Structure 1
Amino acid sequence: MENKQYAKAKFTDVFKYSFGGLGSNLAFILVMSYLTFFYTDIFGIDTMVVSGLMLVSRFIDAFTDPLMGMLGDHTRSKLGKYRPWIIFGAPVLGLLIFLLFTAPELSANMKIVYVYVVYIAYSLASTVVNIPYHSLTPVMSQDPYQRTVIVSWKQGMGTVSQFIITIMALPLVNFFGGGKQGWAIYGALIGIMTTIAFWVCAWGGKDYDKCQPAQDGKKQSFNMLKDLGMLFKNKSMLMLMIAFGTDVLANATYSAVNMYYFKYVLHREDLVPKVASAILFAGIILLPLLPALSKKFGKKKLYWWGSLFSIIPLAVMWLQPTAGVTILMSMMAVFGFISRIPSNLGWAMLPECSDYTEWKFGERADGLMSSSLTFINKFGMAIGGFIASFFLGLVGFVANQEQPEAVLNMIVFLRFGMPILGYIASLISMAFYEITNEKYNEIRKDLDERAASQTK
């Protein structure tokens, strides 16, 4: 690509915007890592009920996520297109995070009603806030390299979330009194932090989220079928959705059974924060390297190889699930480093797919593209949670007692074997992703020429 100077965001604004990565991942990692365990072992809900809840909520998301993306694209306000949704939706999301981890004294049937209402409301609030947040990435900067840097900053803030959740959750829950009380106070804390983080994020996007007038003075109409048509004709976006979704499914499945693995297989719950630390800090090492690596090798190739090598440490632990602490820590550190590549690159590839949409159809659809990846992100998380809950129930898991061999084997498979299948699916899908470095250079050059001709 020619050394063209693109409009870039100021570093201070990028830093403020990156707080969205903190807010988004606080809730995401908390739900993925502990909600299933909280519902079964603390709130006393059957695993089959939890699995059903995950599925029902995703059917709702199938409609609400793309709708939210299109609403964001067509919003016109003094606060911009995407920021109003973040600003006003954040406190609602924060409140629902608290309610998710609150276990009121209810009858068995009313517990089920409670978790369905609260979880579905949480999912809707998450949609309202997260899709506009991700839609701001291509709006913040036109520079392809800076977009990857912005995503790296977002994911860097995500590692702070990972520290707060995976390492500090259990110690803080115990500090706050343990049990229902400890989880409720911790949920309230995370809800407050999530709200503040998203408000800082919206502040960072203030100078970039502008409502541009329609071309030729024509008012833009809200045509859902037309907008969805742009998505389904974008092969690369569809392949990215599948690859990213199966990676998320892999991570969600092992995260959902992670506590069960340490509690029932190893009988070492004390190792949870230690192993989480190894995964976290290994991932932190990768983050500053990602922009340079993606520039050198290309995002498509880097994503593919990252998914492939993520399989190796999982396979080692699947074969040796009760290996010593040194092997466990080493393999999980390797996994934490390598798996960061596809999990971060998905968001960095999203603006490329938005640029492709503009190049192919003459219209940008940042909200719709972001909503598609956000939906598949939540879908993978829910299916991972569903798989974990369903198969544990299928083999006769009963909380807070010694587990039979069939249950232990299932926990090990879900913790290490099932994620491998997810990464294999990612490899196949990413092979059909069409936007290589060369193709993107062609797209960007053509878009620049169009923009130049319109200003003459």
Structure 2
Amino acid sequence: MPKAPRTDAGRLSIFSALAFACAYLPFAALNTSVAVQLPPFFSKDLGVGLAVGGLFGLVRLIDIPIDPALGLMMDRTRTPFGRYRPWIIVGIPILMLALYMLYQAPVGVTRGTLMIWLLVMYLGTSILVLGVNSWASSLASTYQDRSRIFGIMSALGVAGSATVMLIPVVVGRVSGGGEAASVRAVGWFLAGLAPIAIGFAVLNTPERIVGGAHAARFTLRDYLSLVTRPNVLRILAADLAVTLGPGWMAALYIFYWEASRRVSFGMSNLLLVIYILAGLVGAPVTALLANRIGKHRALIVSTTLYSLFLIIIPLTPKGAWIPSVPIMFCLGAFAAGFVVTIRAITADVGDEIRLEKGSHQMGLLYALTSATSKVAGAFSITFTFKVLQMIGYDPKLGPANGPAQIHGLELAFIVGPIFFVMAGGACFLGYKLTADKHADIRRQLDERDAVYAEPAAVEAATGGAMEPLATPPNA
């Protein structure tokens, strides 16, 4: 198993951080494609219609209970290959099969078939995302290093997201293929990217199992005590809101730029590429800002600026995409900060819980945030498509829709994201887990882990079963 290359300061080396961040590439790319490309692909090209919004919502709701179960199983997993590594390896073929069945689906495919393969896709992504996020929290243990690694993950994920948005532009110009052909090409790209990028990360990243891995059992009472903790509630509410805001905008993105701004499909995709590429700047800058003013304050700054810049979009001239370039770049930079700060805050809260409870619950904690992201993804598509139905907007007509329908689309595109994103930032007003407080938590955890280091080494040498970590005196 590879050793952890670290700098003299105790941080992961840049190679280790970049190698691990490769695992985030396919997820970021798929997340963008599912939010922006798949709903129009299903509704227009495959003939499912606006009912696809309800289909996405139903599948997400069915899938939500899977995440906590996966998180619990991951937290209790102990193998010679690590805790998260085996899960990630299992998730790759599941995801690849679902990608083929969804992106290469024929015209006239039934809703039932789409629903089944959406469920399989979300199962694969749940396994991969939970494994990657939880693994990252054990690779980086300090307040500052977590901002750094999640910033690198988000920045590198930008490359995958930008590529899936550039593929339609290239396919349209080179082969003259339509929107459906472009989306199918995206599917082939994702199916090839997943095993290569994730495999590289798995083979080049060490995994250390921290103390307190097992709990004898995890009861409903334990679960309720976790989800009702004030800091966990902050994370869940904020993650729901800041995912729902951009997700809402993404679900209406193609419709809005085509019907309201009168920008072509290719140019609207190019603008979205700019939005995504801005994450290369936004993610690391937000990580630096978080280490200067605190992660929660950096999130509040990002959500506020995002909302202010979103208001400017309707003021740009119709039919001209160039004036929107700097606006979309700034929006993308601010949005990249949402993921960096919340995922890093989640890891810090996980340490706080481990110090108090004496058991490792990082997988379950990330499972809860993954569940809120799924709820947000479901509602963003379900609600926005329901709004389109209420205002009478017809996706097939595009700019030929009436003025009232287009005006309703414009309001929905702007108002919804601003409301949710601002609410997400407000969730961290009064947050107390600062860098100094987390440093004290890590000091206590490191002292406790050192007590169990020698028995753990004996276990590794003998192959014996390690006893559960005793409950700390202050639990």
- TM-score, structure 2 normalization: 0.86
Aligned equivalents of 1:329, 1:275: Cα separation in 2: 6
Larger deviation, residues 138-147 vs 175-184 = 175-184
Q: Give the counterpart letter for 2:64 in structure 1.
A: A
**2:227 aligned residue:** 232
Q: Distance in 2 between matches of 1:445 and 1:198?
A: 32
Provide the rounded CA distance (Å) in 2 between the counterparts of 1:328 and 1:439: 42
Letter of the 2:22 partner, please give it: F
Q: Which SS does the other structure have where 2:90 is aligned? A: helix
Q: Which amino acid aligns with 2:360?
A: R
Asked if the contact 2:355–2:441 (Cα under 8 Å) also holds between the matched residues in 1, the reply is: yes
1:421 counterpart residue number: 419
Relative to structure 1, the CA distance from residue 321 to residue 357 in structure 2 (aligned partners, 3 Å threshold; closer, same or farther) is: farther
Q: Give 2:470's aligned residue.
A: none
Whether 1:80 aligns to 2:82 is: yes
Matched, 1:254 2:261: no
Q: Secondary structure at the match of 1:97?
A: helix
**Aligned match for 1:104, one of 106, 113, 117:** 106
What residue is the counterpart of 2:335 in the other structure?
339
Secondary structure class of the residue paired with 2:331: helix
Mapped to 2, the partners of 1:374 and 1:352 lie a distance apart of: 16
Q: Give the letter aligned to residue 139 of structure 1.
A: S
What is the distance in 1 between the residues matched to 2:61 and 2:120? 13
**SS of structure 2 residue aligned to 1:76:** coil
Partner Cα separation in structure 2 for residue 27 and residue 287 of structure 1: 19
Residue number in structure 1 paired with 2:345 = 349
Pairs within 5 Å for 1:116-195:
116-172=115-171, 175=174, 177-195=177-195
The answer to whether the Cα contact below 8 Å between 1:172 and 1:186 also exists between their aligned partners in 2 is no
Deviations 1:168-226 (A, max 9, x none): 33433665633544432331221221232222222233x2144x6868xxx74342525
Q: Which moved more, 1:403-412 or 1:349-358?
A: 403-412
Give 5+ residue unaligned stretches, structure 1: none
2:355 pairs with 1:359: yes
Aligned partners of 1:184 and 1:276: how far apart in 2?
A: 19
| Alpha-carbon contact 1:82-1:136 (below 8 Å) kept | yes
Task: Give the structure 2 partner of residue 33 of structure 1.
Answer: 36
Report deviation, 1:289. 2.5
Q: Which moved more, 1:243-252 or 1:181-190?
A: 181-190
Q: Which residue of 1 aligns with 2:443?
A: 445
The answer to which of 423-432 and 131-140 deviates more is 423-432
Deviation of 1:44 after TM superposition, in Å, equals: 1.3
Number of the residue aligned with 2:199: 199
- 8 Å CA contact 2:391, 2:405 repeated in 1: yes
RMSD: 2.5
CA contact (8 A) 2:162 2:277 kept: no
Amino acid at match of 1:333: F
Q: Cα offset for 1:228?
A: 1.8
1:43 to 41, 46, 49: 46
Specify the alignment match of 2:460 in structure 1.
none
Matched, 1:276 2:272: yes
Partner SS state of residue 433, structure 2: coil
Amino acid at match of 1:331: I
Separation in 1, partners of 2:375, 2:174: 33
Displacement of 1:160: 0.2
Deviations 1:321-345 (A, max 9, x none): 8485444223222222222222321
Please give the TM-score of this superposition, normalised by the length of structure 1. 0.89
Work out the CA distance in 2 between the residues paired with 1:204 and 1:26: 21
Partner of residue 264, structure 1: 259
User: What's the secondary structure of 2:349's corresponding residue?
Assistant: helix
* Change beyond 3 A, Cα 1:314–1:454: same
Describe the superposition over 1:246-292 as per-residue Cα deviations: whole angstroms up to 9, x where unpaired: 11111111111111112222222242133224323433223333332
Alignment partner of 2:20 out of 17, 20, 27? 17
Q: Paired residues, what number?
A: 443
Deviation at 1:91, TM superposition (A): 2.0
Q: Which amino acid aligns with 2:248?
A: T
Cα shift at 1:455:
6.3
Q: 1:339 to 1:414 in 2, by over 3 A?
A: same
Q: In 1, distance between residues paired with 2:217 and 2:202?
A: 24
